[in-house]
A and B are shown apart, each in its own frame.
Chain A
Amino acid sequence: MSHIAPNFRKASRDAVLNSQVIAAVRKTANLLSGMMALAVADTPDFEALRDYGRTRKLEISGNLEKYEQSFTANAHAAGAVVHRAKDAAEAARLAIKIAADNGAKTAVKGKSMTAEEVELNEALEAAGITVTETDMGEFIIQLANEKPSHIMAPAIHRSRAQVAELFTDKLGTPPDLSVEALVAAARKDLREKFLAADMGITGGNFAIADTGSIVLVSNEGNIRMTTTLPRIHLAVVGIDKIIPEMADMPKFLALLARSACGQTISSYMSIVTGPRRTGEEEGPEQLHIILLDNGRSRIAKGPYREILHCLHCGACLSHCPVYRAVGGHAYQATYPGPMGSVISPLISGLEIYADLPNACTLCGRCAEVCPVCVPLPDYLRDLRSDVNKPPFTMKLTAFGANTPSLYRLGMIVMRRMLKKGGKGLMAPALKEWMVCREPPKPQEGESFRDWWRTRSHGK
């Protein structure tokens, strides 16, 4: 979303006022985090699994190039065409070329944040290819012409009633349908599109280097349709999704499924290794894999390398007090929440997303729930100091706090000011802070220092 200048301060201020969105986000986030807690409690060795995840991912991100080469060679050997895109624009160009070379006019798409990152839908639509989102949440937001607001539950910001209204408007369904009826309406609408589409587009949850396989999980079955019915399958996969061996996959899957929505495994898992083989009655004739770099190999060499370990489970979003207060759209980035506040500035530039590292209370919940222990709060703090050196007022404050006489004077002034309700010299500096807060009232009567002086010690 580089064409708009993101302004988190403004967007988040607007968002907190939209009580409908916040109520919907909070309701779903609570359910998701509750389901994760149950699944984790039910897994006695979960901490050991997390340790494994972190250690293994450190090894992977330290040898990204090696594993990428190995994946490319093995996927090629299995019959896939592997492309490499150094940035989003190149990925979009490649996708358009693949569609054009094969005369593809319609595509069905499984949920993919990587495709969102390269704005694939917009690029394909501009090239005359109709793309239909088939994940229930993505289908909803495509109808509403919105962006996903959660990496795992993209329509988290919409209530059932709003979805029902949208379906009535766009699909002509009767008003105020139940969740079951809404799902049935989507099933009917999308089934025909699955059967007719020329191309299926997905992301990839894991790419396995030693077999050249793409692993895709979903609960709905749309990914199975997308990877089975159309004659071309295009998978857009970030190079951070590569894991060394098939034997690693069950463990990462266990971490992902529990953290994403409290499952042991998703309803469906497809391990795709090359296109349809001789004699098989199903599967695409061609499998194209676009491996997307878009800054990842640069990040792997820098101080924020562990953000590439992220499994995109969304747990840090659902647990984040800031995300829960403002929702995903306020971040104005493909990836919102704690992981997004780290990865978005790293991919698109700190000057574009300078606000995001500040969209954090440093409470540490994200790091506690992260299935691969990405040190998100540390990264957010470090990114803040990358954004700018401390401003002059903060330097002055630091000097004052380090000089006892000045500090004492400051406290006297502060008490006077607070008695008047925070109006005075400091008011301009505290303006933003006071937008949604009342300044604290100073204690009635004498100050601690006065008290101390008049009692035992002062004399």
Chain B
Amino acid sequence: MILNQYLAKARGVGVNVELLSLSDLNLRLAALVDKLQAKSVALPLIGWPEPLLRTVKTEVEKCGSATVSPRRRIDGGYDWNRSALGSTTLGITFCGAFIAETGSLAFPSGPGLGTLASLLPETHLALSYAKDCRPDLGGYLAEFGADIPSRLTFVTGPSRTGDIEASMTTCVHGPGRVLHWIISA
């Protein structure tokens, strides 16, 4: 089964991946926000299934943390408040496709679908539904046909470098910790 292949691959590259049921989500979120002492959480707005976004936003705010989201501009587009985003320690994104072959999370760009929330904070939590697992990279890319988004970002494990004596070290520019919670129900 491809989900098992994904789990093995993602764990192999250092993603902290877990399967959980929707009913556990609130408790787990509260525990995470508490553990990280995250005063503000980056939360890009669009592309989430509505109920999931509402759960996350409500729960994070219930823990006393602020959520930082892109602001809507007059022209209908969005903008991040960069200094507010820069002070977040946790970024939570919805991940609508993840790839078993490589253990990667895929993030196509689009209005409100920015990837800075998965890049600037030291911890990145991605939430997915189990049904969104794809077997391989080639198949996933083919889904777009000629309609490629301006950015297609693939995240495979934490930010790392081997540039000093080839000793693998995490948390270079991006997150040092990547959590992936896959909601199975």
Contact = CB atoms under 8 A, between A and B. Distances in A.
B150 A220 contact: no
A27 B137 CA distance: 33
Contacts of B164: 136-137, 140, 155, 158, 160, 163, 179, 182-183
B166 A153 contact: yes
A247 B165 contact: no
B148 A213 contact: yes
Interface in B144-169: 146, 148-167, 169
A70 interface: no
A281 B70 contact: yes
A357 B6 CA distance: 45
A187 B170 CA distance: 11
Contacts of B113: 280
Candidate in B101, B157, B160 with the most chain A CB atoms within 10 angstroms: B160
Given A195-B82, A280-B114, A247 B138 contact: yes
B51 to A, nearest CB: 23
A183 B165 contact: no
A253 to B, nearest CB: 8
A56 interface: no
B141 A135 contact: no
A280 B161 CA distance: 30
B74 to A, nearest CB: 12
Given A28-B165, A191-B173, A269 B153 contact: yes
A250 interface: yes
Interface string B68-81: 00100000111110
B76 A136 contact: no
B142 interface: yes
A268 B162 contact: no
Contact of A221 (B9, B112, B142, B173): B173
A281 B114 contact: yes
Secondary structure type dominating chain B contacts: loop
B161 A219 contact: yes
Given A280-B78, A280-B111, A281-B114, A224 B153 contact: yes
B115 A228 contact: yes
A220 B155 CA distance: 11
Interface in B101-117: 101-104, 109-116
A153 B162 contact: yes
Interface in B88-125: 101-104, 109-116, 119
A180 interface: yes
Contacts of B138: 247, 250-251
A272 interface: yes
Contacts, number: 194
A267 interface: yes
Interface in A32-90: 32, 35, 78-79
A183 B70 CA distance: 29
B21 to A, nearest CB: 29
A220 B109 contact: no
Interface residues of B, number: 55
Nearest to B106: A269
Contacts of A136: 161, 163-164, 172
A267 B78 CA distance: 27
A268 B161 CA distance: 12
Nearest to B71: A281
Contacts of B9: 264
Contacts of A184: 171
A237 B101 CA distance: 28
Contacts of A253: 137
Given A267-B158, A273-B149, A220 B173 contact: yes
Contact of B173 (A24, A222, A280): A222
B136 interface: yes
Interface string A260-292: 010111111111111111111111000000000
Interface in B37-72: 70
B160 A219 contact: yes
22 contacts: A27-B166, A35-B166, A136-B163, A154-B163, A155-B163, A158-B164, A160-B164, A187-B173, A224-B115, A225-B173, A228-B115, A246-B148, A261-B162, A264-B101, A265-B102, A265-B103, A265-B154, A267-B155, A273-B149, A278-B111, A279-B76, A279-B78
Given A279-B112, A282-B80, 20 more contacts: A24-B165, A31-B166, A136-B163, A136-B164, A153-B162, A156-B166, A160-B164, A179-B167, A187-B171, A221-B159, A228-B115, A247-B141, A253-B137, A264-B101, A267-B157, A269-B104, A270-B152, A270-B154, A271-B153, A282-B115
Interface of A: 24, 27-28, 31-32, 35, 78-79, 134-137, 140, 153-156, 158-160, 163, 179-180, 182-184, 186-187, 190-191, 194-195, 211, 213, 219-222, 224-225, 227-229, 246-247, 249-251, 253, 261, 263-283
A-B pairs, top 6 by smallest CB distance, nearest first, are: A221-B174, A279-B111, A281-B78, A137-B163, A221-B173, A31-B166
Interface of B: 9, 13, 70, 76-80, 82, 86, 101-104, 109-116, 119, 136-138, 141-142, 146, 148-167, 169, 171-175
